[in-house]
Amino acid sequence: MASMIVLSTTAVPDHLRGALTRWLLEVTPELYVGTVSARIRDELWDSVAACAGDGTAVLAYPSDNEQGFELRTAGARRRTPVDFDGLTLIAFGRESKGAAKLL
């Protein structure tokens, strides 16, 4: 059964962006929305995770849990999803000292 997904990417290669637009609408730069089957969703995510390189990606899709959705992430991120008794919470990592000095 098809369901709606939301995929956000940052700094991914152009060929990956082009591949995603075959299945999803790019509603704003690097934000994709569409309705696909679970099989297509998983195959798209495998491609994104394999090709993200230095970029990042987050996938949100419906699920039969308390929140009604699940998250998948790829790439190095400051924000990390953490399971807390069945709820997905977002943990913020500390900034590296090098990045803090640049600000």
Sign of CA pseudo-dihedral 34, 40, 46, 51: negative
**pLDDT for 28:** 97
**pLDDT for 58:** 97
- pLDDT tens for residues 4-38? 999 999 999 999 999 999 999 999 999 999 999 99
CA R_g for the chain: 15
Sole residue written with tokens 């929305």: 33
* pTM for this prediction: 0.86
**pLDDT for 6:** 99
Q: Which domains does the chain have, with CATH numbers?
A: 2-92 (3.30.70.240)
Cβ atoms of 56 and 75 closer than 8 Å: yes
